Structure 1
Amino acid sequence: LPLQKETPLANAVFWAARKGNVALLQLLLNSGRVDADCRDSCGTTALMVASYSGHYECVKDLIMQGADINYQREWGSTALFFASQQGHDDVVKLLFEFGASTEFQTKDGGTALTVASQHGRSKVVETLLKNGANVHDQLNDGATPLFLAAQEGHVTVIRQLLSSGAKVNQSREDGTAALWMAAQMGHNEVVRVLLLRGADRDADRQDGSTALFKAAFEGHNGVIEELLKFSPSVGILKNGSTALHAAVMGGNLQTVLLLLGANADPTVPNKNNELPADLTKSDRILKALRPKIINGDS
């Protein structure tokens, strides 16, 4: 949490809040020469600094001295946002005791719940949900807490959010759903959980690619194995290509073999009339594809 330079006394308050020096903080605040709500030029307050750093006693002291719990800095973050981001559940609970709100948003639409989900703070996520956080919060681009947790591979948080009513197929504005993002990132267990909870195995983005297509291109074979248990499409997609084309372009032989084993057809051309074999110079991949092509032509 970067700070802009301010008056020496204000800087001393920020330093005490960051370091958890309660005695110095009390001395400064009781001097009457500096306010509990002193802030830097970006609107960062001592309460935000203490909350970010997880210093419970400093947070409590600042609140008792009249610090504004729900004050938003320039970007829109609050003390609750920072405590949630860093996973300080005790501080989050303390802030709620004194009236912290879950509704404040940053300029990109972020909330305490979105940032806690993104960072995998499962205890904080539980506390936030119990205190009225909206499981359907969205960033400006449409990303939900579930999407952010899936992107980062936080399985426990994903289960919490789904149990609290998160929509498993809710997508970002570009059509990217949590399953697609988890597949891109190679999060096998996340993919498994999402599929078991009803994720659409063939949901595509605006570019026409599916989770299987993306995992095939990236060579995430563990993800592919999970997806294949749910019989996703191995044929032509809306992007005019197949997952086998993607696997060949990605250059991972094991990925190619997995898809061939799932009856992906190497004789199906893409929108440019190219076969998968036309997209590689790898002898090993060509050797895997050619017997299938010969058998398919016979």
Structure 2
Amino acid sequence: MPSQGPLIPRRRLGQSLRELREAAGMHLEDAAERLECSVSKVSRLETGRGIPKQRDVRDLLALYQVDDQKVIDRLVRLAGDGRRQAWWQDLSDIVSTNLDTFIALESEASNLRYYVQSVVPGMFQTADYARGVFRALYPRDSEVALRKRVDLRMGRQALLAEREDKPRISAVLDEATLHRFVGGPEVMDGQLRELLEISERSDVTLRIYPFSAGPDLGIQCTFVVFTFESEYDRNSVHIELGAGDRWLEQEADVLRYARLFDDLSRKCLSVEDSRDKIRSLIGTYTSKDQPAQ
């Protein structure tokens, strides 16, 4: 199955259709009237929320008098891509709408900035650690559902690692994530070793926000900033809250959270000191002196 999923092609198609309509001097109502369809249908295509049909795209391009065959071929191809099923949609019983959007953006973003205050970011988790997290979050899950959640998380990691155009990943972890006990002593030790290895990758910048840095408005929630190099993609912020996730796409909101991330980074330990912090904890969970959890 394709790694990308339909969201990104739909958004790219919608952006192009909107620009072509505006260049043709038409309003949404004009296009809908000429094609004898609802305004909402045209609007949903332009916002990437509708399921595109290649026939509809060809009709719109003809209406906008687009005769550049390369443009036509590109947009018709995007319409086809926008109808395909992503590999993770086979797991629809555990993939919510929010998670579907999250994975789609994660799979194509040029830059990912994570601030995490509860547990290690999903993209850095070992399978055993992920299983411990999911077992705590979904105590009523069957073993089959639990395995699906872990497989999905490992699949996301694998696809990100296989991308030719690897994204730049920056992560700020609250120091508490290194101390919050998940799974068992061996699981924690394995996760710390994995974090240390990840911190040495050239595409990753990992910093620890130490207890000594004190409180900050930015540490009130976990958030991820997705940014793209393509002009056709919308930068986004995902905020994880107890009352439900939020998505922000206004340019001012994305910029505000990007600056917030930078402010938090400046209060963090350096990259090398962050490694030292992680390194200092390796073995402590599995030592004989470690108190029972």
Do both share a fold (TM > 0.5)? no
Greater relative contact order, per chain length (Cα 8 Å cut-off, separation 6+): 2
More strand by share: 2
TM value normalised by structure 1: 0.28
